[in-house]
Structure 1
Amino acid sequence: MASVPLVLGPMLRYTDETCAAIWVETAADAEVSVHAGDREWRSRTFAVHGHHYALVEIDDLAPGSVLPYEVRVNGGTVWPEADSSLPAPVIATRNPRERLRMAWGSCRTSVNHDAAGNRSHGVDAMRTFALALSEDAALRPDLIMLLGDQVYADVTTKPMQDFIRSRRDISEPPGKELKDYEEYAHLYRLAWSDDANRWLLSTVPSAMIFDDHDVRDDWNASLDWKKQMEATSWWRGRIVAGLASYWVYQHLGNLSPAERAEDEIWQRIAAHTGSDEPDLSDALDAFAGRVDREPRTYRFSYRRDFGDIRLVVVDSRAARDLTPTARALVDSTEWEWLDQQLQGDLRHLLVVTSLPFLLPIGLHHVESWDEAISQGAWGRVAARIGERLRQMLDLEHWAAWQNSFQSLARILTEIADGGRGTAPDSLVVLSGDVHFSYIAEVDRSRGGRIVQAVCSPVRNPLPIAMRWFSVVMSYGLARPVGAAVARSAKVPNPPFDWTTVKGPWFDNNLSVLRDTPGGLELTWHKGVVENGDERHPRIDEVSRVVIGPRSSSG
Structure 2
Amino acid sequence: MHPFPDRAGPFLYFRGWRDGRLALAALSLLPPGETPPPVQAGGHKIAAVKLRELGEVTAWRHDFDLGATDDGYDLGDSHYPVQTDLTGDLRIAFASCNGEENGDMDRAPEERNAMWERLGRNHDRAPFALLLQGGDQIYADEATHGHPLTDGWPGDTPPDLDDAQQAEITEHLRAAFVQRYLGAMGNEAYGWLAARVPSLCVWDDHDICDGWGSLPRDRTSSTLGQTLFRVAREMYLMFQHAATEDDVATLFLDPQGRSLGWAHELPGLTLFAPDLRSERSRRHVMREAGWQTVEGLEPQGDHVMMVSSVPLLGPRLSLLEGVMLMIPKIQQYEDDLRDQWQSRAHRAEWVRMLKQMLRLRKKAPVTVLSGEIHLATRAEMGRGPTLIHQLVASGIAHRAPPQAFARSLGTLAGLGSSPIPEQKIRIHPLPGRKQRYMAERNFLVLERTGRDWQAVWHLEDSGATPALALT
TM-score, with normalisation over the residues of structure 2?
Answer: 0.80
1:458 counterpart = 2:463: no
Provide the C-alpha distance between the structure 2 equivalents of 1:303 and 1:246, rounded to a whole number of angstroms: 17
Q: Which residue of 1 aligns with 2:303?
A: 348
Aligned identity (percent) is 18
1:506 counterpart = 2:428: no
Q: 1:153 and 1:338, CA in 2 relative to 1: closer, same or farther beyond 3 A?
A: same
Provide the C-alpha distance between the structure 2 equivalents of 1:398 and 1:64, rounded to a whole number of angstroms: 43
Q: Which residue of 2 aligns with 1:468?
A: 407
Q: Which residue of 2 aligns with 1:390?
A: 334
Q: Which residue of 2 aligns with 1:124?
A: 114
Provide the C-alpha distance between the structure 1 equivalents of 2:71 and 2:134, rounded to a whole number of angstroms: 26
Q: Which residue of 2 aligns with 1:19?
A: 23
Aligned AA (2:174): Y
Q: Which residue of 1 aligns with 2:231?
A: 241
1:28 counterpart = 2:32: yes
Q: Which residue of 2 aligns with 1:146?
A: 133
Q: 1:519 and 1:546, CA in 2 relative to 1: closer, same or farther beyond 3 A?
A: farther
Aligned AA (2:310): L
Per-residue deviation at 1:405? 0.9
Counterpart among 279, 294, 297 of residue 319 in structure 1: 279
Q: Which residue of 2 aligns with 1:210?
A: 203
SS of alignment partner, residue 374 of structure 2: coil
1:405 counterpart = 2:350: yes
Q: Which residue of 1 aligns with 2:44?
A: 39
Q: Which residue of 2 aligns with 1:547?
A: 469
When structure 1 is superposed on structure 2, of 493-502 and 393-402 the one drifting more is: 493-502
Provide the C-alpha distance between the structure 2 equivalents of 1:447 and 1:172, rounded to a whole number of angstroms: 52
Contact 1:432 1:457 in 2 (8 A): yes
Q: Which residue of 2 aligns with 1:337?
A: 293
Provide the C-alpha distance between the structure 1 equivalents of 2:86 and 2:208, rounded to a whole number of angstroms: 37
Provide the C-alpha distance between the structure 2 equivalents of 1:128 and 1:113, rounded to a whole number of angstroms: 18
Aligned AA (2:284): A
1:8 counterpart = 2:14: no
Q: Which residue of 2 aligns with 1:526?
A: 459
Q: 1:253 and 1:131, CA in 2 relative to 1: closer, same or farther beyond 3 A?
A: farther
Contact 2:132 2:201 in 1 (8 A): yes
SS of alignment partner, residue 437 of structure 2: strand
Per-residue deviation at 1:126? 2.0
Unaligned runs of 5+ in 2: 157-168, 430-435
**1:474-493 alignment, distance < 5 Å:** 474-475=413-414, 478-479=415-416
Q: Which residue of 1 aligns with 2:265?
A: 305
Provide the C-alpha distance between the structure 2 equivalents of 1:460 and 1:220, rounded to a whole number of angstroms: 22
Cα deviation code 1:59-116 (max 9, x no counterpart): 3x32242124124xxxxx6xx4xxxxxxx422442x243233110021011557759x
Cα deviation code 1:391-439 (max 9, x no counterpart): 1x434211121121111122222333x3xxxx31x21111000111111
Provide the C-alpha distance between the structure 2 equivalents of 1:244 and 1:254, rounded to a whole number of angstroms: 7
Q: 1:385 and 1:170, CA in 2 relative to 1: closer, same or farther beyond 3 A?
A: closer
Provide the C-alpha distance between the structure 2 equivalents of 1:453 and 1:264, rounded to a whole number of angstroms: 26
- Between the two proteins, the alignment pairs up a number of residues equal to 433
Q: Which residue of 2 aligns with 1:488?
A: none
Per-residue deviation at 1:389? 5.0
Q: 1:196 and 1:49, CA in 2 relative to 1: closer, same or farther beyond 3 A?
A: closer
Aligned AA (1:510): F
Contact 2:89 2:450 in 1 (8 A): no
Contact 1:22 1:55 in 2 (8 A): yes
Aligned AA (2:394): S
Provide the C-alpha distance between the structure 2 equivalents of 1:129 and 1:302, rounded to a whole number of angstroms: 25
When structure 1 is superposed on structure 2, of 179-188 and 516-525 the one drifting more is: 516-525
Q: 1:462 and 1:302, CA in 2 relative to 1: closer, same or farther beyond 3 A?
A: same
Counterpart among 65, 68, 74 of residue 69 in structure 1: 74
Provide the C-alpha distance between the structure 2 equivalents of 1:396 and 1:170, rounded to a whole number of angstroms: 26
From the CA coordinates, give the structure whose radius of gyration is larger: 1
**1:351-370 alignment, distance < 5 Å:** 351-359=306-314, 361-363=315-317, 365-366=318-319
Cα deviation code 1:267-305 (max 9, x no counterpart): xxxxxxxxxxxxxxxxxxxxxxxx9xxx97533110111
Provide the C-alpha distance between the structure 2 equivalents of 1:254 and 1:455, rounded to a whole number of angstroms: 29
Provide the C-alpha distance between the structure 1 equivalents of 2:407 and 2:449, rounded to a whole number of angstroms: 35
Q: 1:394 and 1:48, CA in 2 relative to 1: closer, same or farther beyond 3 A?
A: farther
Provide the C-alpha distance between the structure 2 equivalents of 1:460 and 1:261, rounded to a whole number of angstroms: 30
Aligned AA (1:12): L
Counterpart among 366, 373, 388 of residue 427 in structure 1: 366
Q: 1:406 and 1:254, CA in 2 relative to 1: closer, same or farther beyond 3 A?
A: farther
Q: Which residue of 2 aligns with 1:89?
A: 80
Contact 1:5 1:28 in 2 (8 A): no
Aligned AA (2:218): K
Unaligned runs of 5+ in 1: 72-76, 81-87, 266-290, 375-380, 484-491, 529-539, 550-554
When structure 1 is superposed on structure 2, of 349-358 and 303-312 the one drifting more is: 303-312
1:227 counterpart = 2:160: no
Counterpart among 57, 63, 81 of residue 57 in structure 1: 63
